[in-house]
Structure 1
Amino acid sequence: MKKNIIKISLAALTAFVSLTSCDRNLDQISSINEDQEQAMTRPETFRQAMDGAYTALKGSGYYTSDTGNQLIMGDLTTDNLVRTTTGRNTNFAASNFEFSSDNSQTTGLFNAAYLVISRANFVLKYINNGVLSGTQKTNLEAEARALRAIAHFDIVRAYSQIPTQSAGAKNTIGIYYSETYSPLNNTSSRNLTVDQVYDKITSDLLFAADNITQNDADKGRLSKAAIYGLLSRIDLYRGDYVNTIKYGELALNLSPSITTLDNFTRIWKENEGISRITDGVLFQISNSAAEQNTVGVAYNQSVPALRSEFVVDYDLYTAYTSNDVRKGAYFTVGTYSGQKYNHVTKYSGNGGPSNIVPVKYLRSAEVLLNVAEAYYRTGNGTQALVLLNKLRAERYSSFTPGTETGQALLDAILKERRLELAFENDRWYTLKRLNLPVQRSGKGDLFDGTGTPAVEQTLAAGSFKWQWPIPITAIQANPNIQQNDKY
């Protein structure tokens, strides 16, 4: 089905937007140009503009290409991945903790996320112009505010402290929370604390949860279940475990499947078609062969043998037992240039163009793990264990329910989180919110743990590097933006 979307540039210098013909989220330039005031007098244009906001999630610095791709940044900066000696050295500086304000590996997300926000705010700018009414209006406003919220969350967790990271983290410098469409804004500043930013994120998501009405048939658009799930993520980062449970349970009540054992490999490996399995997916960034958006290219390419930039750390690879369905879904053992590697092929697809698959931004399994951890931290280990065993029963072909208690139970929850969400932009932020260091195994890049290890093996929990640098280009455009300390 063909639809039009509005293309809005963050740095647009005119009051014009381009209408482009696309397949759901595919940008294809057309020759139609129209003044935005006129364009936003038609109800269908609002939907087109909203789809354009979703499309921005596939921009450079978010979920496309290799440099700074968020599908890999949260793992190559930790103990999950090891750089190969036969790769192209993409993202090497970031993996070596060499973060700088002029390197797009860690700065690319900043501008990419604000572009998503700008496009969402464009929709909100016209939401009260009388063109839309009733549930059509409230639903679209909810959708735009929710997308705006999660993009701000992606920025604040990367460039500011996480509330649970240190005793005073909530009162440290946050980010600018953009609530109006102003693409040439060069006067904004980081005028909010971390806690105030989280308040605004929560406010937008709560509005969305109360007002969104669209069902979750299209996983490429936000639904009530997804928004509740996102609230559980936000509250886990805030250390608000009561609300982590509240909103997580609401999400799981609406979308209870955490992906069955039978479907788990299929949600990662099926490339094309309307019958694609989305069991356990709450929100994904749609992708198709026509778009040629190779989201998995940051991990490896077929040339024609599989050539990887980074491979799974040997200790993590061996933590997946032979009866764990995730091992076959996430990895392929193969040889390149005479060397054998444990390649990460979670995003390689199967039966279609390599590395072109949807990005699972939020899955029910994460929500379950959020809630399980929150139950543990609020003293309800019994329910935490019930949820943990529910997940494990769908990941291991032969499984005897665990009986862990106390610290062993928390360790088991965090272990399953690492195994489940590996290569989904979680590991760096889990270590950060728990105020834990990066401690790599010292193992090499080859399939048996030999070969060349990472250059840098540790990053202390208190290091300033847990807050990535603001891009120098953003500061040059707007000197009011304060750089993070020591950059």
Structure 2
Amino acid sequence: MKKIKYIVATLVFLTVVNSCDRELDQTSPQKVLTDDVFTDIAAFQSAEDAAYDAMKATGYFGGDTSQLGIPDEISDNLVISPTGRQTNFLAYNWNIASTIGSVTNLFIAGYSAISNANLPLKYINNLPDGAAKNDIIAQSRAIRAMIHFDLVRAYCKIPTQSSDANASIGIDYETTYDPFGKSEGRKLTVAQVYDKIIEDLNFAVNNITTSTVNKGRLTKPAVLGLLSRVYLYKGDYQNAINFGQQSIAASQSVGSAATFPLIWSSNNVDGVLFKVLNSTTEAVTTGVVYQQGATATGGNIRAEYVVPKSLYNLFADNDIRKTAYIRQSAYQGTLRNNVIKWAVNTGGQTPLNVVEVKYLRTAEVYLNVAESAYKTGNEALANSLLNTLKAERYTNYTPVTLTGTALWNEIMLQRRLELAFENDRFYTLKRLGLGLQRTGEGANIDGTGVPAVTQSVPASDYRWQWPIPQGSINKDPGLPQNTGY
């Protein structure tokens, strides 16, 4: 029998898949197949599954510093609960430093995942030319583009954030495999990083052939949706519209009113373009950042962060998102608005807080295109997309036509409601240069309680760009720290 060689790689999971259209079986940690194994498509697919799996590392979508929570915790969407563990308290109050964990482990976890995405490319010429080989290349390039985007928007300025953003310092764009998953310097500008992300995604969209009903791998509609997101952040609104409309044409459902709650409480994928899988074997606690104790029907919820009264009231009573995202319950005698979006998965019969991450949904693409349409003066398109989305969120909804400021405000409102607790709010405030202004509310259901120490942060504050972890700088002295840290 042929010997299989392994190398240990931090934050990596080996995934095994019987065919490219089957949901991934994710079981064996910390091993990646090497040289003499890269001889057939199945081996390359397993290596790519490891790259997807690496997104569940602590600081990415796993554990207390999950990206499902941090961008909402440091915005105006959440208030820390006094009866929780005080998780991420420093970041919540914008006491941000370069010591690891003061915000998140995303930088280290991200480059580790990128390295795994690049691994199949090292051996790609072992495969014969053709569509199957091109799909492997497309998957790898799409994964690394997606992760580089997550990093550049967190650690660098966003092109629409300020007039100097495009020329400001970017991040390293890794295109080769490194077993240590390191960044090597920051020689690119923000604009150059975005160009490389778009180059990889354009290759992917033209060569990707993977199709899976389980959405556990990137598909053409998902890559088109990613392009709409990247172009929105870049400020290229016409391309955000063009690619977003192509994604919508290929995957139209925003999640019907009947199935939308099931997206969060089961494995339903109506309206989901790409998700990060989470098996019962792995049991990565993606939702622990919000609470402990919730069950499918109730539970004695001990919240880490709760929804402030002002945001809760923005969800109308006939909005299905209100009960799909939030549950009012008491802990130690005090009633609060608890986030249950990532609490339970009855469909997968997984433990509490072990939920698959819905990384990209068609509803976001609708909102990306609606915002871009408004920016380009196409209010008719913006209204059409908003009405389609709202018809599946509000019972007895009657379409409306809005113009000017009223239309813009509605686009922003629906984005906040739809993508609440979903890794968006901080970045929306950042890319629009709005700064942060909290309401001064506490954690109690009536808005009383102790408010955050930091209530406002101007758009010009250096902390909108997160610090490069000091541990990474120690390993690479040529890696510059962001200004202010």
User: If the length of structure 1 is used for normalisation, what is the TM-score?
Assistant: 0.92
Does the residue aligned with 1:335 lie in a helix, a strand or coil?
strand
Is structure 2 residue 262 aligned with structure 1 residue 263? no
Structure 2 residue aligned with 1:173: 169
Structure 2 Cα separation of the partners of residues 35 and 62 of structure 1: 23
- State the alpha-carbon separation in 2 of the partners of residues 332 and 468 from structure 1: 31
Is 1:119 matched up with 2:110?
no
Per-residue CA distance 1:206-247 (angstroms, 9 max, x = gap)? 000000011242301000000000000000000000000000
Structure-1 residue corresponding to 2:441: 443
Structure 2 runs not aligned, ≥5 long: 18-22
Give the aligned residue type for 2:170: G
Partner of 1:273: none
* Structure 2 Cα separation of the partners of residues 281 and 316 of structure 1: 24
User: What's the % identity of the aligned pairs?
Assistant: 47
Structure with the higher helix share, 1 or 2: 1
CA distance in 2 between counterparts of 1:65 and 1:139 reads: 32
Runs of 4+ aligned structure 1 residues displaced above 4 Å come to 4-8, 17-23, 184-187
With 421-430 and 184-193 compared, the bigger mean Cα shift is at 184-193
Is the 1:5–1:19 Cα contact (8 Å) retained in structure 2?
A: no
User: Is the CA contact 1:82–1:454 (under 8 Å) kept in the aligned structure 2?
Assistant: yes
Residue identity matched to 1:65: G
- Residue 187 of structure 1 and its aligned partner are, at CA, apart by 8.2
The answer for the alignment partner of 1:277 in structure 2 is 268
2:291 pairs with 1:300? yes
Report the more deviating stretch, 35-44 or 445-454.
35-44
Aligned twin of 1:465: 463
Write the distance in 2 (CA, Å) between the matches of 1:91 and 1:199.
Answer: 33
Deviation per residue, 1:123-151 (Å, 9 max, x gap): 1111123x343111100110010000010
Local SS of the residue matching 1:334:
strand
Aligned CA RMSD, in angstroms, stands at 2.1
Q: 1:18/1:418 Cα in 2 relative to 1: closer, same or farther (>3 Å)?
A: closer
CA distance in structure 1 between the partners assigned to 2:419 and 2:223 by the alignment: 19
Question: Residue 7 of structure 1: CA displacement?
Answer: 7.2
Instruction: Please name the residue that 1:103 is paired with.
Output: 100
Q: Return the alpha-carbon distance in structure 2 between the equivalents of residues 121 and 50 of structure 1.
A: 9
Q: Deviations over 1:40-61 (max 9, x none)?
A: 2343211110111110010111
Hey, what does 2:421 align to over in structure 1? 423
**Deviation of 1:106 (Å):** 2.0
Partner SS, residue 141 of structure 1:
helix
* CA distance in 1 between partners of 2:359 and 2:32 (Å): 33
Query: What CA distance in whole angstroms lies between the structure 1 residues aligned with 2:181 and 2:273?
Result: 33
Q: How does 1:65-464 map to 2 (within 5 A)?
A: 65-66=63-64, 68-129=65-126, 131-184=127-180, 188-270=184-266, 276-302=267-293, 305-351=300-346, 352=349, 353-464=351-462
Provide the rounded CA distance (Å) in 1 between the counterparts of 2:353 and 2:33. 37
Report how far residue 408 of structure 1 moved.
0.9
CA deviations on 1:309-365 (whole Å, 9 max, x unpaired) are 000121001100100000000011111111111000001125332111110000000
Displacement after TM superposition at 1:35 (Å): 7.4
1:186 to 1:445, Cα distance in 2 relative to 1, 3 A: closer
What does residue 14 of structure 1 align with? Answer: none
Deviation at 1:392, TM superposition (A): 0.8
CA contact (8 A) 1:7 1:18 kept: no
> Which residue identity does 1:282 align to in structure 2?
L
Q: Shift of residue 482 of structure 1? A: 0.3
Gaps of 5+ in 1: 12-16, 271-275
Is 1:481 aligned with 2:479? Answer: yes
Distance 1:185 1:350, change over 3 A: closer
Residue type of the partner of 2:318? N
Secondary structure of 1:423's partner?
coil
Question: What letter matches 2:24 in structure 1?
Answer: R
Is the 8 Å Cα contact of residues 84 and 452 (structure 1) preserved in structure 2?
no
Q: Could you list the per-position Cα deviations for residues 249-286 of structure 1 after superposition, in whole angstroms to 9, with x for gaps in the alignment?
A: 0000000111111111011111xxxxx32000000001
Equivalent AA in structure 1 for residue 220 of structure 2: K
Counterpart contact for 1:312–1:342, Cα < 8 Å: yes
Q: 1:345 and 1:485 mapped to 2: Cα distance?
A: 37
Measure the CA separation in 1 of the matches of 2:358 and 2:134. Answer: 26
SS of 1:209's partner is helix
Q: In 2, Cα distance between the equivalents of 1:350 and 1:286?
A: 12
| Structure 1 residue identity aligned to 2:333 | G
Which residue of structure 1 aligns with residue 20 of structure 2? Answer: none
